[in-house]
Amino acid sequence: MSPKIRRSSTPPRDAGRCYAQALSNTCRPSQGGGRPGIWAASLLYAALLIASTASAATISVSSDLQAAINSAQPGDTLLVAPGVYSKITLDKSLSLVGDGAVIQAGERDACVNVLADGVSMSGFLVQNGFYGIKLNNVQGCTVANNTVIHCTQPGIALLFSDGNTIRGNNASFNGLGGEGWYGIYLSNSNDNLILDNVAYGNGAYGINLFPSCSNNTIRGNILQGNMYGLYMFTDCSHNLIEFNDLSRNTNSGLDLRFNCTHNLIRNNSMIDNVVAGLTLLDSGYNSISGNQIEGNGRYGLQIQSNSDGNTIIDNAVSNSQTGIFLYSDKNLIYGNKILYNVIQAEDRGENSWNASYPLGGNLWSDYHGNDEYQGPGQDVLGADGFGDQPYEVSRTARDQYPIMGGQVRQISIIQKSLNPTQARVGDDIRIAVQLEALYDLNQPTVRAYQPGGEAKGYGRLVLSGDRYQGTFSTALLDPGEYDLVLKVKDARGFELEEVLGRISVASRGG
């Protein structure tokens, strides 16, 4: 069936006159000055553009899509009817609009190969090719609202292509065999807008930039269920990464490696990734702000191996094994909420954990200092919202101005009792402890210690009503005074070790 073509060939009424006048520099504004030659050239360009637009056609296609493309003129729109179509090559600036149309190819072919600037493509199901939609050395193209699945290599690929828009596509379940890996892939491509796409369950990467991709905007994408949500590798700089959901991936939500610098990473969600919310390796001078980094398996933020000079501000980093891990130098960390991590932070470099006063430091859920003083030296009477004592991050790092506000211990002792506190060797000490915890608790234990001595004796506490109860036998103790120490661990691995009280043990014959 031949394609149905609706083409308008009537130029605007004044186009020919302006074209002719432009050549003679006589078609110009009615008022004002300006250079006639420049104005004439502008009118000439406008006239040519109007003439080109006026000749554009809308073509209905129901079979042999490639033949319709071959016979179409630049600027035409192809309305593609439901059906299954073979691979296509777009080597002229056309608009393709699918309505239930499927494009598929063999496992070594690209389903859609875009070789021309200004191509627009929307509304297609693209599947089973080596590439799904491949943009190669093109500019000004728009790929929107397509579903691209089950391709051997990238679902959507931009190779040496700048200034394109990839919007509202579903690029999922690609790269599951061989050396695939990608939902959306950018290589040597700059100034592109990657907006509101879904990339789920791909072989390795939801979105991958490698190498040398700069000034791209990656916004509002859902990148879940991959190995990495967004992976940037080798010389990818000055990209804007914002409002993406980088969660529930089997490695990291966001991973930058090897000279990925000066990127702006803000207002993303990085939740429940198996390894880390965000990882930086040999990548410095990035700005990381306003992100929700929660419940990641090993690290909230993992920054290491010469990843120096990053700024980490106003993030919420919570409920990971280690909230922030630093093995780099000259990073600035302040204004963050660092909450309920088993290890709140580990600093193996030389970094700054607060800005200068009065910007201050970070909110730590396990900080329990007081706020009675103010000023850069915290030595002037009056509260200022910062703790008076520094928060010890490590042996060599401290937050000089920890932020006050709603700190809660992960495990707290609400009430405790020891009876008796004066005993003879062989007596039992009855213990009752009421605990408050954010997460489920393992069975608490009690051991006895003398100053500088090893643990002696052992007792277990079991939950009875709203408190843990049990007995501690003094049969293995020598006469003397002992601190009874409670140890309990929660389901996330946080451990509380705290003295319940002191007992005095006398010999049986005393």
Is 211 or 452 the better-scoring residue by pLDDT? Answer: 211
| CA neighbor of 269 nearest in space, from 240, 290, 285 | 290
Task: Look at residue 33 and tell me whether its pLDDT is greater than 90.
Answer: no
Gap between the terminal Cα atoms of the chain: 111
Strands (E), 258-357: 264-266, 269-271, 276-281, 287-289, 292-294, 299-304, 311-313, 316-318, 322-327, 332-334, 337-339, 343-347
Do 259 and 283 meet the contact criterion of CB atoms below 8 Å apart? yes
Region 436-458: mean pLDDT is: 90
Span 286-295, pLDDT tens digits = 999 999 999 9
Q: Over range 266-287, report the average pLDDT.
A: 98
Backbone Cα Rg of the chain: 33
What tokens appear for 231 in the block? 């992976």
Q: What is the pLDDT of residue 8?
A: 43
The neighbouring-strand residues paired with 240 are 217, 264
Quote the CA–CA distance of 255 and 277 in Å, as a whole number: 8
Which of the four pLDDT bands, split at 50, 70 and 90, describes residue 405?
A: confident
pLDDT of 21 over the 80 cut: no
Pairwise CA distance, residues 75 & 94, whole Å: 5
Task: Please say whether the dihedral angle defined by the alpha carbons of residues 433, 438, 439 and 440, taken in this order, is positive or negative.
Answer: positive
Q: Provide the residue count of the chain.
A: 510
* 254 closest CA partner among 285, 233, 282: 233
Residue the block writes with tokens 């007596």 = 427
pTM, entire model: 0.80
pLDDT for residue 327 is more than 80: yes
Higher pLDDT, 437 or 386: 386
- 328: its two tokens: 């780099």
Q: What is the pLDDT of residues 429-440, one digit of tens each?
A: 999 999 998 889
Instruction: Give the pLDDT score at 26.
Output: 32
